[in-house]
Amino acid sequence: MMIRLAALTVTLASLSACGSSAPPTRDAAPLPELPTLTITPESTARERVWDGVVEAVNQATLSAQTAGRVLELPYDVDDYVPAGAVVVRFTDVEQQSASRQAQAQLRAAEAAAREAESEYTRIQSIYERKLVAKAQLDQATARRDSARAALEAARAGVRSAGEQVDYTIIRAPFSGIVTARHVQVGESVRPGQQLISGLSLGQLRLAVEVPQSDIAAIRDRKRASVLLGADGARRIAATSVTVFPYADPDTHSFKVRVELPEEETGLHPGMTVKVAFDVGSSERLLLPRKVLVQRSEISAVYVLDQQQLSLRQLRLGHSFGDRVEVLAGLSGGETIVTDPLAAAAALISRRAGHE
């Protein structure tokens, strides 16, 4: 956060005038020991910034997989739903009846299969003693195999009927927000009919339209950051950058997908946000934000040059975490005071000594 010297009565103009005055006389009070920092250019990423649209990675519309009548809709639009929670419940009278019928058929098939197995075992034993013809053994074998197949079909029918019962309860596949309800309580639905829509806020991404002139650099470096806040001081590094291999024929721009980490960002699907892409490197002068003096829209810093202390106005650029780029007002090799309060107090003390 930039330091605001609201408690001091000295204005920016008066401090600048004092700092730019003639060198102190022999009677002037010497400057106290002040914490300083010598500014040198640093190699930093060269960035291009575009607007991106926030999207939810997980979003879905749930549909009915069985017929029935809507019995319960526990959640409404904009409600938060935990993963696995019931979002739609149907009546299940027909499904339960079909399940009981399938289980009865399974029991009948099991009995028939046991009888066929016993008959086959008896005929095989008699055939080994040469007391029956081969045709009778073949008939017993066919009845056994047929009973086995009928048993497997009955088991599959039970599983299918059980799934139909399960389909009467629709659960959320992930935690998120309900965005739309397509049915109402009491409404009859059919398989394939849309029921409810939602999206997850746990994992987000950005879709950005980028001019083709910068695509080669973005594809090569694959680094981007999301700029948050009015001044873009807070940054979130992208986990991955994907450049789609085709351009829009109307705008000649490429779509770039920026994946965000799973953390609380304050972003929501549909929002627009600034995205800075790394397209190269350049030399910049960077200052810690804590050394800046902010007066309304004017930014300044205390510069120390051969025991001469002055407040110098700056023109600032992009933010890089807790540091900010200096576009004009400072040169490499100059020394600044890192404690603006102490610098202001030293200027006031020296001014009082002159008077």
User: Tokens for 113?
Assistant: 């299969």
- pLDDT tens track for 162-207: 999 999 999 999 888 999 999 999 999 999 999 999 988 888 899 9
Q: In whole angstroms, give the CA distance from residue 31 to residue 33.
A: 7
Neighbours of 56 (CB within 10 A): 21
State residue 11's pLDDT score.
40
Query: Is-contact 4 244, C-beta < 8 A?
Result: no
Residues 6+ apart with CB under 8 A from 24: 307, 350, 353, 354
Query: Is-contact 327 316, C-beta < 8 A?
Result: yes
Q: In whole angstroms, give the CA distance from residue 311 to residue 294.
A: 11
- pLDDT tens track for 264-311: 777 888 899 999 898 877 777 888 888 888 877 888 888 888 777 778
User: Tokens for 339?
Assistant: 């404690």
pTM tops 0.85: no
